[in-house]
Every structure is written in C-alpha cells, then in structure tokens.
Structure 1
Amino acid sequence: PHTALGGKKEGYSESTINGEAWRVLTKWDPRHEFMIQVAEPLAGRERLARHITLKMLLPTLIALPVLALLIWFGVGAGLRPLQQLKQEVKQRTANRLDPLAMVGVPEEVAPLAQALNELFARLQQAFEGERRFTADAAHELRTPLAALKIQAQVALRSTDKAEQNLALENVLHGVDRATRLVEQLLALARVDPETAAINYRQVDLHGLAATVMADLEPLAHAKQIEMTLEEDAACYVLGDNAQLGLLLRNLLDNAIRYTPAGGQVLVSARDANGIVLTVQDTGPGIPQAEREQVLQRFYRIAGSGEDGSGLGLSIVRRIAELHGARLELNGNDNDTGAGLRVSVLWPARQS
C-alpha cells in the first residue's frame, strides 16, 4: 500500500483499512530509518479462534454425558449390595432374627453385614431368655395359685372347724410363697444392665451389711439364729446401693432360711487384694455337683424342706456380674457344721 498500515509506534496495534479491522505489527530497523509493517484481518483471527475453541469443546461436550452416565452406573453398581442389604433388613419382621446371608457380599460391605448378624444374635439370645423367663415364671406362679384354689375350696366345703383353720393356714402360707415369688421376679426384672451403671456410687459394704442385717433380725431371731458382722477396715466398692442391698438381702435370707434353729450366720467384708464380701452359715450346705445349677433361675435342691422361688442366687449372680464381680460357692471351713460360704469377689481395681 502507499500509506502506512498503522501508527509509527513499534509493536502491535489495530487499525481500520478500507472499512475492515486489521491487526498490525510495526518494526523499525536498528538505525530507525526503515519501518516494516505486517497486517492481518481480525476477522480471520476470530474465525481461527472459534475453530480452535470448537475443536476443543466438542469432545468435552460429548464426553461429559457419557462420563456422567458411566459414573451413575458405577455408583449404582457399587451401592447395589447396600440396597439389597437395606431391603432385606427392611422386609424382616420383629421375630425374624436369623443371620443375613454372607454369600456374594462385597468386601466393603462384609463388616457391616457381620455387625448386623452379631446384633441379631444378641437380640435372639435376649428374646429367647425373656421367653424362657416368662414361661418359667408363668409355670412357677401357676403352682402356688392352683394350691391356693384347692385350699380355699377345702375351706369352703369343710364343716369341720379344725379342717377349715388348717386349710386357711395353708392359704396364708401359699399367699406368702406367691408374694415372695412375685417380689423376686420384680427384683430380677429391675436389674437392668442398660441403666445399672448410671447410678453407681461409692458404697460402704460394712454399713450396707449392717442395715440389711438389722432388717432381717426378726427373721433370724424367730429361729434363734445368731448373725454376726465381722469388724474390719472400711470396704468401698463402686456400685448401685439398692442393687447391692438386694444382693445382701438374698444371701442373708437364704442363709437364715436354710440354717437350722440355733445356728450361726457370719458376714464379712475385707480387702484382700480386691474386695471380698462373704456370707457363711451353718446350714446343710450345697453339694458340689449342684453348686452351678443353683445359680440357674427357678432351680431348687430336692429335699431341702424349704419353699423357695429358686431365684435368689440367680439374682445375686446377675447383680455381681453387673458390678464386675464374680460369685463363688464353697463349703464352710469352720468347725460348726457343713455349711455354705458364699463369696462375692471384686478385682483389685475396684478396691
């Protein structure tokens, strides 16, 4: 061209030539005598930019839906075992506690399925225990209630005053037995492992034993049984005062109930590398072969001559377990008779 394409300043600039926008590069020689200008229409540059942009975006626009679809299928396939597990658990009834099938369960979901199976097993065991307890309780209550009905019918039909009085005395005796059984059942139901530790405080076993012995003194006095609490250093354990009182009451009640008239009951609490609470008596004792069985619910030794519920020692063991202690039954080691020595032992950390 006969005229300059742009300004004389070196570098890039834009100018309008023949009504069209141009991009101009201006360069000077070292002596600044000659000027060189190169120009390109801006429309061509814009077309090239659009072409490059389209080439870059088109694969991305095509790939994004495909990638999203692949992700959707992948996540769905990964979550499918969880969905199946959810549906199986959701469709179960309250009575269906059999284990979940572990066949085909992915490695990532296996720990969850295993934990659910362990939970189902614990629930199954708890429900079965409750069903057995309810059935046993119903059976044990049915016997004294049937006896009460029979004795009441005898009293109603008899015309002999002495026979009526004997039947009424048997009714009173049956009521006492049923009352004790109900009290033991309620006591066992109150021993709740979920809430037991909430009420734990430092409990003085000596003071608690003295209180329970004072409550049971009339029962011991009626049989001329001497109850003694050994003096020793104070013994404290972390526990529930009411439950430990129930434990002592059951041990002492059993000792008084099965010890012959004129016998002795000795209570002690000492720290011997761990707290040891002991109740021993001069009664007939428990044969070695039956010491584990008497800890089961409703088990009674044949020929004992006493009407009991068979729940006392099972309650004692349950309370001991909840307090981190263990129960031991041994023969008496003194010279006053065969007897029984029941020990509740706390580990050293409870001292």
Structure 2
Amino acid sequence: MGVFGRPRIIDRIVLGVGVCVILVLVAIGLWAFDSVKEEIVEEYDSQMVTSSTVLWSLMRDTSATTPLILDDKQLPLPQADEKALRHYSKWRSYRVWRAGKLIRASANVPNASQGPNGAGFENLVTANDRWRVYTLVIPQDQMVIEVSEKLIAREKIVSHILRDLIWPLVFALPLIILVVFLATRWGLQGLSEFAARIGSRSVNDLSALDSDKVPGELVPVVVALNDLFTRLTRSYEQERIFTDSAAHELRTPLAALSIQAEVLMRASTKAERKELLDELRAGVARASRMLEQLLTIARLNSALISEERLNVFQLVQVILADIAPIALQRNVSLNLTGDEAASLLSSRELTAVLVRNLIDNAIKYAPLNSEIIVEVTAYGLSVNDQGPGIPASERALVFNRFYRRKGEATPGSGLGLAIVAELAKRLNLQISLHDGKDGRGLCARVSWQRDQ
C-alpha cells in the first residue's frame, strides 16, 4: 500500500496477477479433475472387461462344479509382491458361475449373498462402500463372470494425479508474484522519472514536455499535459491583460474621486458643496458599477456551467421586474412580447446575467420617456431601444473590453457588451447588433440553435 493507505499501481498489478493465477489454477484443477476422471473411468472399465475375459478363458476348460473361495493370504508370494497385493486386492473382487452354480469367488465380494446381475456395467452401493460391477455372460458355456472394483480406488488415483499437478503450481505462485512485482517495478521506473521531472519544474514553467523521453504508455499523458499547459498559458495571458486593463481603467475614476473629494473640502457655500457632493456620488456609482462588472468578468472565467431547461419568457419577466425601478428613474417603459413557451437548455445564472446586461445597456442609452421592447422567439430574443444606436463600422468593436466610442457622453466603463460577448461564447449562443425598429436605436439579438 502507498502513503496513507492509498493503493499503488504496482499493488493493483500484483494483486490482479495473483488473483488471475489462482483462478487459472482452480480452472486447471477442475478441468484436469473432469478430464482425468473420465480417462480413469474408461481405462479401469476396460481393465475390468479384460479381467473378465481372462477369467473366462481360464475357467472354460475346467470341470469344477463346487464353490472355491480364494483367499489372497494363501498365495505363496515374495514379501514385496505380497505387500502390493494386500494394498490393492482389497479394492477388487470377482465371482464365476457355471450352470447357475458359483464355482469361484474372491474373499471380499461386495454382494456375497446375491446372485449375478444382468450383463454389462452397473454401480453398486453397499453398507460400507461403493462398487463398480461388470458382468460377462457366456451363454454357450453357461458361464457368468462378475468382476467388481471399489470406486474409491479410482478416486484415490484421480486425487493423487491432481495433487501432483496442482502442488507444483501452488508452490510456484509466490515465485510468479515476486517476478511480476520486480518486473512491474522495473517497468514503472519511467513513471517515477517522469513524475520527478514534473515535480522539479518551477511554478512558472509551462513549457511543453518532450514526449520523446517518456515510455510509449505515457505519451497520451504528455500530450494531455502539453494541451493543458497551452490553455493555462493562454488563460494566464488573458488574465494579465485583463488585470493591466482593469488597473488602468480604475486609476482614472479613482483619481477623479480623490480630486472631487479635495474640491468638496474647499467648497465655501452650501450650494457648491451640494453640487460637488452630487458629482462625487455619481463618480462613486460609476466606480462601483465598473468594479461590479470587473468582478462579473472574473467570475465568468471560473464559473462551472450547470445546464437546465429554461423558460426564456419567464426568465426575462423576472429580470424586467427586478430592473424596472432603474428604468422608472428615466421614465423608460419596458415591454415584453413573443413566445411564452420558448425554452433553452442553458445555465440559468449565466443566461440571466447576459440578458440583464443587454437590458441595462439599453436603459443606459435610451432617451427619457422612451420605450424598450424585449421580444422572445423559439430560437432567440432581441432587445430594441430608441437610443442613438451604434454605427455598423463599430458594432464589432463594442464587444471588446473597455471600448468606448469617441465623443460618447453617456457614463460607462465599456464592459457591459464585453460581458455579454463572453457569456454568449461560453453558452454557445450567437450575439449580434442591428439597426432598431424603423431604423431607430439599436437591436441586440441573441440566437441559439434549434436543438438547444
């Protein structure tokens, strides 16, 4: 196990190989048991048939008619042969009948009180043992020969064969696991070296890794890391540009607020102080709005998109109700028309920010006592105002951060439409600017695919 009990790759490989070897051994044992058992049955059955035919050939020419029970202990055998006979003779027996009379039998027959069975093989179960019995019937000689064998004899042979087969493999299992462990450890050295190379890098080093110096299995990892480094480099560069731009843009309003505060302190009359205080409040509001928009852009870069099926019409209704007090200050009416069932699979939070920024922008540039119309369709929405509009030559530029048209008198930071453009890109939406209704004002249109 690794540090804090975490499993390592080498542990998993060794464990997996060990389990596989054990399963293979079990499978081999089962297959060998079934195969050997079948072969033993066939071999021993054939020996029983051979033994019965040998007994027939020996007994057919004899004229014995009286029973003779043969005891192996009476045989004059050498000591070694006698030991082998004593071991195996207890497992086998035979009987011979002529003209229906028992003329020969061994001492350990399983069914001494019963007569011969029908011809062929059968299994016999006695009080103490299980037997395999073969009966040979020779009608022309009026002879019946029965050969019996204990089934335990066959089972012992099968178990001995399996033992001789499995035990060497079982003893070899630790050696196999050790070899796998050492081979895996050697093979993973490239991974350790690769990790050391990554760990030795400085936090600012996002250069591409050399895929020629790593094992082939790690090439996809190197490719993925290089792609990540490229995206991080691009992201850091964007953040740097954004930070520099934000610092530059905030410096001017903050300096203006400082000057206004100093002038306010030197004001001599109440009317002058009130006028300067109103200007200071407006400056603070502009700086707060810019800071809020900067924070919104910063959030967009790290926000996770959680999609859900939105009713676009209802979403716009909620936003209009929330923003209505701001519109009332300029006596601007907000109207919503279109498809009440229009839906979109998107992020509720980010889509709401996008729509709110469009309407905020329209209110800011709409003249007093004018109208803003928000129209929702099945595949998009549009915000139409009656303001000064934007020339076609500048419509692509207004989506850049901090862009302000020359001579623009309306206060602003140049971030509203930049936020809209970045949100549209993240949400896979299309944003475009057009002439307003009847050629008056501006129409900001957001559209999406039919299957969104």
1:84-104 deviation digits (Å, cap 9, x = unpaired)? 422221011222211113444
Q: 1:185 aligns with which of 275, 284, 294?
A: 294
**Other-structure match for 1:250:** 357
**Other-structure match for 2:430:** 326
**Other-structure match for 1:299:** 403
Q: Specify which structure has the higher proportion of helix.
A: 2
**Other-structure match for 2:343:** 236
Distance change in 2, residues 1:100/1:219 (3 Å): same
Query: 2:438 matched to 1:335?
Result: yes
Q: Is the 8 A contact 1:202 1:238 kept in 2?
A: yes
Paired with 2:338 and 2:294, the residues of 1 have a C-alpha distance of 34
The alignment partner of 1:246 has SS state of helix
- How much has 1:230 moved relative to structure 2? 1.4
Structure 2 unaligned spans of 5+: 1-75, 86-174
**Other-structure match for 1:278:** 382
Distance change in 2, residues 1:104/1:94 (3 Å): closer
TM-score by length of 1: 0.71
Letter in 2 for 1:323: L
Name the count of aligned residue pairs: 290
Structure 1 unaligned spans of 5+: 14-63
1:251-296 deviation digits (Å, cap 9, x = unpaired)? 011111112334332211111xxx2011122222223333232222
Letter in 2 for 1:230: T
**Other-structure match for 2:333:** 226
**Other-structure match for 1:142:** 251
The alignment partner of 1:299 has SS state of coil
Letter in 1 for 2:396: E
RMSD over aligned CA atoms reads 3.3
Query: 2:421 matched to 1:312?
Result: no
1:7-39 deviation digits (Å, cap 9, x = unpaired)? 5959989xxxxxxxxxxxxxxxxxxxxxxxxxx
- How much has 1:209 moved relative to structure 2? 1.6
The alignment partner of 1:278 has SS state of strand
Moved over 6 A (4+): 10-13, 71-75
Aligned-residue identity in percent? 39
Paired with 1:268 and 1:312, the residues of 2 have a C-alpha distance of 20
Paired with 2:191 and 2:81, the residues of 1 have a C-alpha distance of 71
**Other-structure match for 2:241:** 132
Q: Is the 8 A contact 2:310 2:346 kept in 1?
A: yes
Distance change in 2, residues 1:131/1:192 (3 Å): closer
Letter in 2 for 1:335: D
Letter in 1 for 2:394: E
Distance change in 2, residues 1:187/1:11 (3 Å): same
- How much has 1:246 moved relative to structure 2? 1.9
Letter in 2 for 1:340: L
- How much has 1:335 moved relative to structure 2? 1.5
Query: 2:447 matched to 1:345?
Result: yes
**Other-structure match for 1:167:** 276
Paired with 1:207 and 1:107, the residues of 2 have a C-alpha distance of 54
TM-score by length of 2: 0.56
- How much has 1:194 moved relative to structure 2? 4.9
Q: Is the 8 A contact 2:293 2:416 kept in 1?
A: yes
Paired with 1:247 and 1:290, the residues of 2 have a C-alpha distance of 21
